């Protein structure tokens, strides 16, 4: 089991294309001996087991946003807890829209819950009986024993000038634990609010995007894609994600002790190129630099 106050990356891959070198985004924060799941991308349930965590021990899940690579295993989480007859509450925190998503997944559990194991007189608990949803907005604060979680809206969905207005919300999260502060950027572009959230943090876990490499792979895989569509993909990737240099600048400005990069598109931060990306970050940041790996604890 990971150590108290540790942050474990369960999946370093970033979607929507699957990365053969890493499962999709899911992470584990240890609140003392209690595991807290942060995002729930494809493979999260199996990666919890590989990290030494029984999924039934997870009582809280935090979602940063609602792209499929970050929520793909949420249905499996609900269904598996139903099948093992979970009795204790499971609370899912996330930005506005989380309740609608979870309600839909709970409704999808109706058929397998009714089937059960085919044993007469046996009734499985339904996720609607043990799942609670709490929607978070910018500035939200959640106290879980000795851990305090603080959220801020970031620029993954829209520019800073539009933050705080009606529209979809993507969150960055800070976990303050005894003797240690951890910030997970989630998916974001450069963002002053994230810098404020992360001031003085011990561990900064940040997404990282290699724009030129990723666009090259998009073009190679889609030779017939119109230039207009290519331009839209590039605009999203360039404005709504962080380059290695952006990651280094962020870590330096907030005074982090340790930066860990994650959320890699296929082809990014392979064993052969990880050192080059670390060097690009280190050129902007004088602290400790790590390129994340699946099941790595920090």
Whether 2 maps to a domain, the answer reads no
Angle at 170 between CA 274 and CA 204, to 5 degrees: 40
pLDDT at 276: 96
Give the model's pLDDT for residue 211. Answer: 79
**pLDDT given for residue 24 in this prediction:** 98
CA 235 – CA 16 distance, rounded (Å): 16
**10-residue stretch averages of pLDDT, the chain, 298 residues long:** 95 91 97 98 98 98 98 98 96 98 98 91 93 98 98 96 95 97 98 98 96 78 85 81 97 98 94 96 98 98
Q: What is the pLDDT of residue 223?
A: 86
The answer to whether position 71 is within a domain reads yes
Q: Would residue 89 count as lying in a domain?
A: yes
Q: Which domain holds residue 197?
A: 7-297
Stated pTM of the model: 0.95
| Structural domain includes residue 234 | yes
The total number of structural domains in the chain stands at 1
CATH number at 44 reads 3.60.15.10
């Amino acid at each position: 089991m990971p150590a108290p106050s540790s942050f474990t990356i369960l999946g370093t891959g970033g979607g929507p294309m699957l990365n053969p070198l890493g499962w999709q985004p899911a992470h584990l924060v240890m609140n003392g001996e209690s595991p807290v799941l942060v995002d729930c991308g494809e493979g999260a349930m199996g990666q919890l087991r590989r990290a030494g965590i029984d999924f039934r021990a997870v009582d809280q899940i935090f979602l940063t946003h609602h792209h499929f690579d970050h929520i793909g295993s949420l249905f499996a989480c609900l269904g598996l807890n139903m099948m093992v007859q979970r009795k204790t509450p499971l609370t899912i925190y996330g930005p506005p829209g989380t309740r609608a998503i979870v309600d839909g997944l709970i409704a999808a559990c109706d058929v397998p819950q009714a089937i059960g194991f085919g044993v007469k007189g046996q009734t499985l608990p339904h996720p609607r009986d043990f799942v609670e949803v709490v929607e978070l907005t910018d500035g939200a604060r959640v106290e879980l024993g000795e851990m305090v979680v603080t959220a801020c809206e970031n620029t993954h969905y829209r520019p800073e000038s539009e933050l705080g207005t009606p529209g979809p919300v993507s969150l960055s999260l800070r976990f303050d634990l005894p003797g240690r502060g951890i910030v997970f950027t989630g998916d974001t572009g450069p963002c002053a609010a994230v810098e404020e959230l992360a001031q003085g943090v011990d561990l900064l876990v940040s997404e990282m995007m290699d724009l030129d490499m990723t666009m090259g792979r998009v073009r190679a895989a889609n030779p017939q894609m119109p230039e207009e569509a290519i331009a839209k993909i590039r605009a999203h990737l360039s404005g709504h994600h962080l380059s290695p240099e952006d990651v280094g600048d962020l870590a330096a400005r907030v005074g982090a002790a340790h930066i860990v990069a994650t959320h890699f598109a296929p082809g990014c931060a392979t064993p052969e190129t990880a050192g080059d990306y670390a060097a690009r970050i280190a050129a902007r940041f004088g602290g400790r630099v790590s390129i994340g790996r699946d099941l790595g604890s920090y």
